[in-house]
Structure 1
Amino acid sequence: MEYEHDQALLDQVLRVYKPHTRYLNSTAVTAKGDPQDEGGMVRLRGAFDIPESCYIDETGHFNAVEFNLCFNQMYYFIVAKSVKEGLLRAFGDWSMEDFWKRQLPDMFIVDFRSTFRRHMHGRHFWGELDIVKAQQRDGGNGRMILLNTQCRYGEAEKAACHGEVRLALKSPAAGPVPSP
């Protein structure tokens, strides 16, 4: 299933960022099964523009800080789109109101790895984020959703850098983790 760019949702998702740091401009989401099932995946492909660094003089290249900021913007959007469209069973009991309440305080990066293979100027480029695994667990103080993701960025067809990020989200539902 493919979902075209959703500007209204993107604007709402990025409202938590300062206007000069809203780098993600357009999105397309593709769902191939559910990441709770073997081989299931949800992918976001986005276009980015970073006119100038928000924190340092011009370095001349895309760096780890920008990698992380762009990842976060893709991540927030793909979760919001997944909730809105019902793309992951793990979000089956989430409403959009749950997403907005949890966007900043209840979504955590628990493992972050990035690799840079070649120079990328990083002013106008593409990024992709794949949710490749989703699990629901009891987090000790309530249900958690764990997501394994892979991402990559490039200016040409081939990616210049990539990463793997594991995330934990507090679930709004109480009670035991549902059976698959």
Structure 2
Amino acid sequence: MSTSLSSPAEIAEDVLAAVLEPYTYKGCRYLINAVAQASANTVVAEGNFAITESAYIRSTGHFNAVELVLCFNQLAYSAFAPAIGDGVIPAFHGWGLEDYYKHQLSSMFIRTSSSRFKRPIDATKFSARLECRNFEIVQRTVRYLRVPCAIEFWDAQGGSAYGEFELAALNIPGCQ
């Protein structure tokens, strides 16, 4: 994954706080800050994370597969929020931020996922780059937006991990 952000915008803390409230509520907000940019068919973001204490297990001493999925979710939810709020993605035309907050948990699903760990990552301080491209409306029994994503994680010591996800967004208002 080699995409860099050409004109990223910082995701405001009030947006992060609202999007990540379900994680904060359970004591597992790991995303510290993020920048993002979006077009009609692409969302790209970079974020900084810290896991001082795992929300589900005693410390393993390294970033693990469960935390990879949680961090992917947090960066993806956060990156899509300003794009939807600004009306950038046609499939979400008709939704504002409040609609997104209302639907983010009940309407967003991971359809497939895979991950690879190249070198252990220090969970106390690491970063990630997310790229979601080539959105597609799928007309089946249930209509949804297919969102292919890739994410890479790294730390200052050369730790490295990578994941691929396919998301499904249900109840989308646009592109009827």
Normalising TM by the smaller chain, what interval? 0.7 to 0.9
Q: Show the counterpart of 2:29.
A: 22
Q: Show the counterpart of 1:47.
A: 48
SS at match of 1:148: strand
Matched ranges for 1:83-122 at <5 A: 83-122=84-123
SS at match of 1:90: helix
Q: Show the counterpart of 1:168.
A: 168
- For 1:133, the aligned partner's letter is N
Q: Is the 8 A contact 1:49 1:123 kept in 2?
A: yes
Q: Is the 8 A contact 1:133 1:149 kept in 2?
A: no
Percent identical? 33
Give the alignment's Cα RMSD to 1 decimal: 2.0
Q: In structure 2, how many angstroms separate the alpha carbons of the residues matched to 1:44 and 1:109?
A: 18
- For 1:34, the aligned partner's letter is A
Matched ranges for 1:78-157 at <5 A: 78-141=79-142, 143-156=143-156
CA deviation map 1:41-66 (0-9, x unaligned): 32110111111111212211110011
Q: CA deviation at 1:95?
A: 2.3
1:12 aligns with 2:18: yes
TM-score by length of 2: 0.87
Q: Show the counterpart of 1:58.
A: 59
TM-score by length of 1: 0.85
Q: CA deviation at 1:132?
A: 1.5
CA deviation map 1:35-88 (0-9, x unaligned): 2xxxxx321101111111112122111100110110111111112121012232
Deviates more, 1:90-99 or 1:7-16: 90-99
- Which of structure 1's runs of 4+ aligned residues deviate more than 4 A? none
Q: Is the 8 A contact 1:82 1:91 kept in 2?
A: no
Q: Is the 8 A contact 1:34 1:87 kept in 2?
A: yes
CA deviation map 1:130-180 (0-9, x unaligned): 112211122413x31110001011113866001110000113438xx55xx
Q: In structure 2, how many angstroms separate the alpha carbons of the residues matched to 1:3 and 1:158?
A: 26
Q: In structure 1, how many angstroms separate the alpha carbons of the residues matched to 2:62 and 2:103?
A: 33
